Structure 1
């Protein structure tokens, strides 16, 4: 027997599975594509509705009022760099894409992480899946996404969401596992409902670790931006790809630094808002 006849081809199985999904669930995928595209379009329209200086002034003012002066200054510097580099529209497109991707990743990973922290069996089942998700190279996620949703921004968001779910879910599970047992017992002794314990005890205690998970989710989502540019997602990823294919070092460097600026902006704002202390009323 020829050894080549015994080769295992996961790609062939995956292609057959995706063909079956496209044949039987095309209306569902079309609906998901429309919803995601509408939400992303709304984010982009909102960010591009005002001129660049107006967005910078508004974000700086909100950061100053809601967080602190240092965050406001840094946010203005990050957005200012995106403007002065001549990549404002691409930066806002990337900011919208990453924001939607991170939001969807958190909405999926946060409840799943809580379930994994609550139920040991669920964690045992999900752990191998998460291991595979974190081991597979990120560009691999684009292949089935493109085969299902075609080219464009939607497959880029779907691949980014899948790539960002694993670290957020793991760190959510860890965060809730680290909540001090005595605080939980105190809440139960005082007659607090599970909902009150979750909102008033567990989540506040878990915030530091949750911030790490959110940071990782943002960074991994931005890591997919360049790859997303290869499938027509636009934004800074397309500019990096253009600079690479045309051997324009200046364009590639500016786009890469703009991606760093967007990453720092999202990290600063998310960390500042989550760590913000509520105003004490007398």
Structure 2
């Protein structure tokens, strides 16, 4: 029986992918601009991000993304667009590295649904964020690092609400139609090793998106039913349409997280990237 999946990465080149800088767009369809909102809240990001896109290269059969200049981020965008699909890949992010996989991503704007791989303090892995979609957060849990006596990260643990830099709130879980527990996630996550991510995206312009990590169903969100301030499913459907790009992320720094979001010399790694169109 033939494999229903086809490769999106040839294992040796970035053919079929395009690097672009991490430039913020609108907070939701029609504005306002994210940069303007961040200034209102006293947050700053590095200036002129278009001048410092992330560096993407192939190392040992994997796509590797790093900040080209400390504090600046970027995306690696598929040349192809996809409608309904299942995506399979393996990921190995450093700690801390705030990365993710975007689906239904637009070519000329930063809008799309992001599957979070926030491998950093108070991060979520397998949850969702709405880039340019009113910034909705739909996550099942948050994690932090277990530290060695010398202060180095040595594994993952549940985030401590008393010290969290981005506290979990009930509304984030309520936006999900399925949410794994943090204990179940930690039981399957392989620290310092490769982990499999599976993403199923079906349902046209307002898809239902489901994630699995190492076979464990982590989270599911219905884009047509999200309840979040400013989120308008009609406007989202009109903006994104029924097809979009897939993208990998290297996050930038901001004045809230700084290097806790992306450490010096940190990298995200992706390999065995395959897709099955539905």
Q: Which has the higher strand share?
A: 2
Same fold, TM exceeding 0.5?
A: no
Per the normalisation by structure 2, the TM-score is: 0.30
Bigger Rg, which one: 1
Q: Which structure has more RCO (C-alpha within 8 Å, separation ≥ 6)?
A: 2
Per the normalisation by structure 1, the TM-score is: 0.30
